[in-house]
Structure 1
Amino acid sequence: MSGYHRLRPADLDALAAGPGGAHLVCTLRAGQVSKRMLHLRAVLDLADPAATSAYFALLTAAVRRDPAVGPDLLALPHTGAWLAVTLRRLRQRADTPTMSATAGRTTAGLALPSEPDRPAEVDLGYLGALAATAAIRAGLDFELPLPAPDGAVFLPSLGRARCGGVGPVTVSRSGDRVRVGPVEIPSPVDDLPAGAGGDRDGWSGLHRLTSSADGLGVELWLDDLDPYRDCHRLCASGRLDAAVVGRWQRMLDDAWPILVRHHRGHAEAISEGLRTVVPLQADSASAGVNVTSMDAFGAVSMTPPADGTALALGLLHEFQHAKLGAAIDIEPLHDAADRRYYYAPWRDDPRPLGAALHGVYAFVAVTEFWRTQRTVLPPGRSRLAEVEFARWRDRVARTCADIRAYGRLTAAGRRFVAGLGEVIDGWRDEVVPAEAAALAREAADDHWTVWRMRNRRPEARLVRQLAETWLAGVGCPAITVPVAVRPADGRWLSRSPRLDLVRLRLADPARFERLRSGTERLADALPEASAGDLALAAGDHLAARAWYQRQLRQQPDHLAAWVGLTLADARLPADEKAVHADPELCRAVLCAVAESTAVPDPLALARWLAPVTCVPAADGPRQVGPTPVRSVAAQDRS
């Protein structure tokens, strides 16, 4: 367990080619266990020995009794999250004598103070909880006092005891009897049934989900208890009731056969390496959130998926991130000093090299998923799969090419990215229907327009100069305006009502027509969509542009209206186009003009700005992308 870990060239090739295999997942997990051993040693070195000695002594005794429990507990996903959080806080304390207080937060069913406020003994108490769990599993009799935030004690991989009160609680084992304060844990703890963990007599067990298809099974904790599970602070769900757990189980039963029968290699890797799903609270501002922490290998956090297909894709996608993060811990693939920003068509914010590489790897698997699904779904349901395959094949190829051209990669990284490129190139000439190729381009244009309007900033001094010139009633000067990439505040994964309407048009044409005709209210179907979005999705680009044009005269800074107007204008015949300048410049100048007078016609201003040339700003991180990539449709096969 303490030896060196290496990834051979063949391992990198297998990882780039796709799932990597169960054996490689075992190698990656072993690397994570060793990493966590180092983190635990660092925690013990930095913490007050008086706060950790009893915990570590019990953990050591349990491992002597049963050597397997040490690696098993270190491999738990949120052991890694706890170590990362605790090590960061101990280092902050060492560097900062005083820290300001902030409001508390609630997570995992325990009211934990926010990090600067939280007493060190609360974080270090998790080590005691791990030691107690190890002793229970090793069959060792013991007594150990543990802190009980909010009157509760969580035992990793087992569950949570609700003891009440505010002081420490003693966890003990005597023979077959395990108690947490006044609460007795159901026995045997190693053989709890699958399904809802249940709340009884002060005890809440972890929920377990299981499924099997064609001889391959998967077993997952549905974790709504661990105090360190909310790695990204994305509102992890509180305690789930049996009905919600049942819905997750039914979705897994729908998802698992899809993975096993059509994506077997990924299913084998997931079966070997994924241990925990953390449910997140649903958020109407996004189409769903799936996220993986690089500190919690083996766990994925996600909002409730729409159906089994969405869950299958979410698990496949997120486990790609987990594998790559664990691989980079063993074999660095890029230079952390790379300061370029990369455009990634799956995010609304600029991405550094490491994040862009992660995205390419995950979306190669997403592309592969839709490539297969389009061949196994019946004709009426395959249209969306065709569009998704065409969209991600072309977009992933573009970002992968950017990384190969500009990224500061290690030798291993160059080999890995070259392997990804080979996979993508193997799909390049596969034919998709012309309609699917066209819709894929529309989706790509939509995302790029949102991204540039959010993150590209024309130089403020020249924007003011152009606004003053417009107000003076003279012609627009043919000047050059530097545009810097400045990541926008707010959500980094936003929902596109325009793309939602396109998906609805594909998946349910009858309902889309009801929205068009007015027999069903748009506000009931998609509250965030506008009449302009509906016209754009239906291909009535002139009507869509006119609607956005009116909207901008009322709200000149309205991002969605600027995106819609830009897209609608770009799809009109050349002699009807009005936006010949960069749309982010048009938006900035219109807002500047509106500060001094009534909002002018945005199309008139856009025509006036045509002589201006926008160029990347010389200062700040360099933006890479986008680069056009050929899309192969049925009509251009020759």
Structure 2
Amino acid sequence: MSDSRGAAMSDGRTATKGLAFHRLSAPSVLALARGEGGGAAVEELLTAERSRRLLLVRALADSLGEGDPPHPAGTAPMAHRAAWTLLARTQQRAPRVFENILMSPQTGMWLSLALRRLRGATAYEDAPLWVVAGHLSALAAAVGARAGLDFSLTVPVRHGRVPLPTLGCAVFADAAEPWGTAQVDAREGRLRITAGRETVTAGPEWSRSAPGWHAVRRLELEPTGPGKVLLLDELDPYRTFPHPSPPRLLSADEARTWQELLTGAWEILRRDEPQSTEAMRVGLMSLAPTPARERYRPHSVTAGDAFGGVMASRPDDVAQLAATLVHEFQHTKLGGLIHLGPLSEPSAPPGAPEQLFYAPWRDDPRPLGGLLQGIYAFAGVARFWSVHRHAADAAYAPMAHFEFALWRAQVSSTVDLVHRHDRLTALGRRLLGTLRERCEEWMAEPVPPAELALAQEVAADHRARWRAHHLRPPAAAVQDAVEAWRRGDARPPAALAAPPELAPVADTRYLDTAAVLARYRLGAPAADPSDIEGVTAADLLLARGDLSGAREAFVTQLAGKETASDAWAGLGRALAGATEHRDASRLLRHHPERARAVQSALEHATGRGADPVELATWLGLGPGETDLD
């Protein structure tokens, strides 16, 4: 199980004589830099990923060879040796089967986590090390079974379950201990999996569930097309990222719903994103379903070590799922590209604090590497909505126009923020330069005025809330402002306008409430959004256009002892349009962190704060504030 090719970008030269490096073709580099890339580009990424996987397998073999991890007496060493032997037999006799399981997302995730664990890194699961390492035997058993080989192998049992990757999972009702071992015997295409006194029989029809055996679901997304099969994986412990998890079996209704949603999303992608569909046909391998979340707050994850795998919550509609698949596969492509060549250099000097940035799609500040991931992913989302808004039915079109207007602006502003950053590599500069040109094209596209205005308002709200949470004006300037306010000065001190400091607040959540409420307005106007996490009565009044009521509600919030940072940004929106509050509104929509800091300092100094509107009005008279709009 080896490969002579390294996994690195190259211009044709070799770093070591006789050692060949993977290279992307010029068309693939250009397409990927534009945020695109079809099946050919993904094939090239997968070829490099294959070499990387084989290197990880070799590293695992070396690590296990240095000494077996703690294990039940007499089981693990024999299992490891037998597993390597069975894997080698399968690679010789059924190479396509071996390649299929080697390249599965779950195998990539397990290899990465197992190597980190063997080398002393923090564990991502509670399984003992011998169970994690013993997953090699479960992998070998699945490979051998799919190849039709006869064998006997000892595999781990996890809480009464024996998962066999890409095949299914055996369940033992009488398992008394959380961790144990089972014997897998394969004869003439059938498996007997025995743990204690229980035996589960499976095969040769792997797709059929049986007593004690849950088969992996394979969904056919194109019954009348060229064929795309996607694993709907509810069984493999390494299907979820980054933390492994036990199986979560879908009911028959849930499985049918996922089939309908995925089939519908695939049809949309075939029509609106044909190049992405070709790329996903090659590289999208499995989806791990998770329960539905709050409406208009879907959750999805990919991992760089699990090329081709997606974890996603049940979506609200097929268009949302289509956008999610595009978003996550953008991460997959970029992860494959980064394995060949980094987009940015490490922060210097070593050990220095990581520079953090505002990311319009996150509640927390992000490092440069994470920001580049978000830019690339949401560039794909903007591209999807740019086309789908013209193909969607009349009822859904406003939502699609809004999503396009929102994400093109968010991606464009973020690219502008970092496209000249000095830590970008040549590849990173090329990628951001190309995406910047694409954003310019999108920004020139017309959007209906109502949806455009709503997207702009939502974008500004998120940024203001983020600033209120994570930015702090210079402490000395805040103290000067408190003293100036108490003296009755006509204006705040100029020093308050100095660049604020980043002071990230842990566990900041729900900065997207304006976006969620906007989606309710566009997609579910009759629904009641009052139970949305993070949404206050003041937010609801604001979303309904009751500016007067919202103002009173936000002022009441700000008078409380537990002042919500979000309320300052909300108050700024509620004051918009009132001439007498123009300065206050402008200040709070652009620099709510100043009002929050000064009010907090006032309360600390005097035991009571100022009237929020009066304070914001005064702060809005600071130098340069009239140029904000």
Q: Which band: TM-score by shorter chain?
A: 0.7 to 0.9
Distance 1:386 1:236 in 2: 40
Distance 1:266 1:159 in 2: 29
Equivalent residue letter for 1:82: W
Distance 1:230 1:261 in 2: 30
Q: CA deviation at 1:469?
A: 6.2
Distance 2:443 2:493 in 1: 44
Correspondent of 1:71 among 74, 77, 99 = 99
Correspondent of 2:343 among 333, 343, 347 = 333
Deviations 1:178-210 (A, max 9, x none): 1111434432245x26xxxx4x42212222222
Q: CA deviation at 1:82?
A: 0.8
Q: CA deviation at 1:81?
A: 0.8
1:366 aligns with 2:372: no
Distance 2:246 2:559 in 1: 40
> Which runs of 5 or more structure 2 residues have no equivalent in the other structure?
6-20, 69-76, 349-353
Q: CA deviation at 1:116?
A: 7.9
Deviations 1:503-539 (A, max 9, x none): 2333355x38xxxxxxxx6636x47533422332233
Equivalent residue letter for 2:447: V
Deviations 1:113-162 (A, max 9, x none): x6486422111111111111111122221111122122321111011112
Distance 1:174 1:522 in 2: 57
How many percent identity over aligned positions? 37
Q: 1:296 to 1:572 in 2, by over 3 A?
A: farther
Secondary structure at the aligned position of 1:228 is classed as: helix
Secondary structure at the aligned position of 2:62 is classed as: helix
Q: Give the 5 Å matches for 1:47-126.
A: 47=64, 48-50=66-68, 51=77, 52-92=80-120, 115=124, 118-126=127-135
Equivalent residue letter for 2:530: A
TM value normalised by structure 2: 0.85
Correspondent of 2:530 among 523, 529, 535 = 523
- Structure with the greater relative contact order (CA < 8 A, sep ≥ 6): 1 or 2? 1
Q: 1:552 to 1:335 in 2, by over 3 A?
A: same
* Higher deviation after alignment, 154-163 or 388-397: 388-397
Q: CA deviation at 1:285?
A: 9.4
Distance 1:588 1:575 in 2: 20
Counterpart for residue 283 of structure 2: 273
Q: CA deviation at 1:304?
A: 0.7
TM value normalised by structure 1: 0.83
Q: CA deviation at 1:474?
A: 6.9
Equivalent residue letter for 1:361: Y
Q: CA deviation at 1:300?
A: 0.7
1:391 aligns with 2:406: yes
Secondary structure at the aligned position of 1:305 is classed as: coil
Deviations 1:338-362 (A, max 9, x none): 7433322112222222222222222
Secondary structure at the aligned position of 2:228 is classed as: strand
> Which runs of 5 or more structure 1 residues have no equivalent in the other structure?
94-98, 100-113, 513-520, 616-627, 631-638
Deviations 1:102-122 (A, max 9, x none): xxxxxxxxxxxx648642211
Correspondent of 1:550 among 556, 560, 564 = 556
Distance 2:158 2:452 in 1: 55
Distance 1:146 1:24 in 2: 37
Q: 1:225 to 1:495 in 2, by over 3 A?
A: farther
* Higher deviation after alignment, 477-486 or 368-377: 477-486
Equivalent residue letter for 2:199: V
Q: 1:599 to 1:402 in 2, by over 3 A?
A: closer
Q: CA deviation at 1:214?
A: 6.3
Secondary structure at the aligned position of 2:344 is classed as: coil
Correspondent of 1:159 among 158, 168, 180 = 168
Q: CA deviation at 1:329?
A: 0.4
Counterpart for residue 566 of structure 1: 572
Q: 1:489 to 1:62 in 2, by over 3 A?
A: same
Q: 1:422 to 1:477 in 2, by over 3 A?
A: closer
Distance 1:236 1:310 in 2: 27
Secondary structure at the aligned position of 1:148 is classed as: strand
2:108·2:306 contact (CA, 8 Å) conserved in 1? yes
Counterpart for residue 22 of structure 1: 39
Equivalent residue letter for 1:561: A
1:206·1:221 contact (CA, 8 Å) conserved in 2? yes
Distance 2:564 2:143 in 1: 56
1:17·1:423 contact (CA, 8 Å) conserved in 2? yes
Distance 2:503 2:339 in 1: 29
2:284·2:308 contact (CA, 8 Å) conserved in 1? yes
1:334·1:354 contact (CA, 8 Å) conserved in 2? yes
Equivalent residue letter for 2:433: A
